[in-house]
Structure formats: C-alpha cells, structure tokens
Amino acid sequence: MNQPSRAERTKESEADRPDPSTPVVDSATLMSGRRELIIRHGVESYRLRVTASNKLILTK
C-alpha cells in the first residue's frame, strides 16, 4: 500500500488550516504520553482522551 510522503502529509495538513498563522500542536506533544488530559476553558473543564482506536475525543 502506498503511504503519502511527509511532504504530502504536511501539504495536506497545511491545507486543512483555515489560516496559515493558526498554530499547530502535535497531539503526541500535547498528550505527553498520557491517554487523557483536562483542558480548562474559562470556568469550564473539558476532557481530551485517546481512544482504544487511537482517535481523540473531547467531552465536557
């Protein structure tokens, strides 16, 4: 099976961003080896977790 090259993946990810000045953070960096973390947004807390199928889920 043909995998896209790093340049192609970068090009695709850049195309997904609505504004080139929008910061990009790699999920591995954000999660730092953990399976879940809490994000505080004002007075609200959200849980970001990695599922068994390696998807990200954000819940309030």
Along the chain (60 residues), what's the average pLDDT of each consecutive run of 10 residues? 62 69 92 96 98 97
How high is the pLDDT of residue 4?
64
Task: Give the residue among 54, 50, 53 at the shortest CA–CA distance from 37.
Answer: 50
Domain spans of the chain, in order of start? 22-60
* Strand-pair partners of 29: none
Task: For residue 5, give the DSSP letter.
Answer: P
CA atoms of 50 and 31, how far apart (whole Å) = 9
Compute the C-alpha angle 44/20/16, nearest 5°: 75
Instruction: List the structure tokens of 18.
Output: 């609505």
Instruction: Name which of 43, 11, 6, 13 is nearest 27 in CA terms.
Output: 13
- The whole-model pTM stands at 0.65
State whether CATH 2.60.40.3140 applies to domain 22-60: no
pLDDT of residue 42: 97
pLDDT score for 18: 74
